[in-house]
């Protein structure tokens, strides 16, 4: 079992303002062998119930000031492409797979793995049936992504609280894939970073590096460079928060049955959801997963090799 414990909040689904009801804590539990196809990270709440990090951890911690929960899928400087398994019951974190092989992000010089703590805001859904009025593209069918720019390297699966300062609109193979820029509220720089402009002042070059990273990271896989809406400009905090709220509304509508979603929807805490299950059913789901075992050695060269993408292919 992972050693960290996170203190968060539990709430009831509502189309109105969040109803924050009581303090909860979350414990992440590993199953399977790390660096293999069967590795998973599941979650428990303070009552000992297994929960879905996508559906049962609230998106919003507080409304004023506005603070969000973020599930860290990928710690900074690592390469394993971990993600919330949207199609699996209880939505554990797992490593993405392509053609039967675990996926790793290439080290595109001078970047080493992911250059931020990377994760998602729970209870959000970038609806693939909705064409965004600004980007002209539909959503990518995932929870909305967050690049957390604080100084601490998070643990895989950790749940932190972030303040949002802006967003980048990446267009990935014809889909809108929002990249929210946020900072851990407990970071030493958090009081000084309240806008995209503050990021550039406090961490000069980080926003340019982020845009470059997203532009080139798939080129070593033989894919073209990604492009962006708004000429690659970052949108401000207000725009970002409106975008997050929209993806939360899509998630709410998917649980009410108004919108059809292909996620695994089982949950414990969402009282208005058509897909709520009890603790026994959730435990049964987890017990079907293999027990935690020793990690396999990573043999994929992408985890260590340098790719001089921008220099050799002239994509920037």
Mean pLDDT of 192-210: 97
Closest to 165 in 3D by CA, of 192, 126, 140, 137:
192
Tens digit of pLDDT for each residue in 12-66?
A: 333 333 333 344 679 999 999 999 999 999 999 988 999 999 999 999 999 999 9
Residues 6+ away with beta carbon under 8 Å from 315: 215, 216, 219, 225, 309
- Give the pTM: 0.92
Burial environment of residue 271 by CB neighbours within 10 A (0 to 12, 13 to 18, 19 or more)? exposed
Per-residue confidence (pLDDT) for residue 272, from 0 to 100: 83
Cis peptide, bond prior to residue 131, ω within 30 of zero: no
Tens digit of pLDDT for each residue in 129-152?
A: 999 999 999 999 999 999 999 999
> DSSP characters for 166-215?
EEEEEEETTEEEEEEEEEETTSTTGGG--SHHHHHHHSTTHHHHHHHHHH
Structure tokens at 265: 């929807």
Q: Is the pLDDT confidence value at 309 over 90?
A: no
Confidence of residue 313 (pLDDT cuts 50, 70, 90): low
For each of the domains in the chain, give its residue range(s) and CATH number, in order of start: 5-313 (3.90.80.10)
Please name the helix (run of DSSP H) or strand (run of DSSP E) that holds residue 253, with its range, or none: helix 237-256
Mean pLDDT of 179-206: 98
């Amino acid at each position: 079992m992972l050693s960290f414990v996170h203190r968060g909040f539990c709430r009831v689904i509502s189309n109105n303002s969040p109803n924050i009801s009581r303090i909860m804590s979350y414990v992440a539990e590993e199953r399977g062998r790390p660096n293999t196809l069967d590795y998973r990270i599941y979650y428990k709440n303070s009552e000992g119930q297994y929960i879905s990090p996508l559906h049962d951890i609230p998106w919003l911690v507080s409304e004023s000031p506005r603070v969000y929960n973020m599930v860290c899928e990928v710690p900074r400087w690592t390469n394993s492409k971990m993600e919330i398994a949207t199609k699996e019951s209880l939505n554990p974190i797992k490593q993405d797979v392509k053609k039967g092989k675990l996926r790793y992000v290439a080290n595109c010089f001078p970047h080493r793995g992911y250059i931020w703590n990377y994760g998602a805001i729970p209870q959000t859904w970038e609806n693939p049936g909705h064409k965004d009025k600004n980007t002209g593209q539909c959503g990518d069918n995932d929870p909305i992504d967050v690049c957390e720019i604080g100084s601490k390297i998070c643990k895989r699966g950790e749940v932190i609280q972030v303040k949002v300062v802006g967003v980048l609109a990446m267009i990935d193979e014809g889909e809108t894939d929002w990249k929210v820029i946020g900072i851990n509220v407990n970071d030493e720089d958090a009081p000084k970073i309240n806008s995209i402009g503050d990021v550039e002042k406090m961490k000069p070059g980080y926003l340019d590096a982020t845009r470059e990273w997203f532009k080139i990271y798939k080129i070593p896989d033989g894919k073209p460079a990604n492009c962006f809406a708004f000429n690659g400009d970052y949108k401000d905090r207000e725009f970002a928060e409106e975008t997050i709220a929209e993806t939360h509304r899509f998630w709410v509508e998917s649980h009410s049955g108004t919108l059809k979603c292909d996620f695994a929807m089982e949950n414990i805490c969402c009282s208005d959801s058509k897909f709520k299950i009890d603790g026994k059913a959730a435990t049964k789901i987890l017990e079907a997963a293999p027990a935690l075992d020793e990690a396999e050695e990573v043999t994929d060269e992408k985890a260590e090799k340098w790719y001089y993408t921008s220099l050799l292919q002239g994509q920037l």
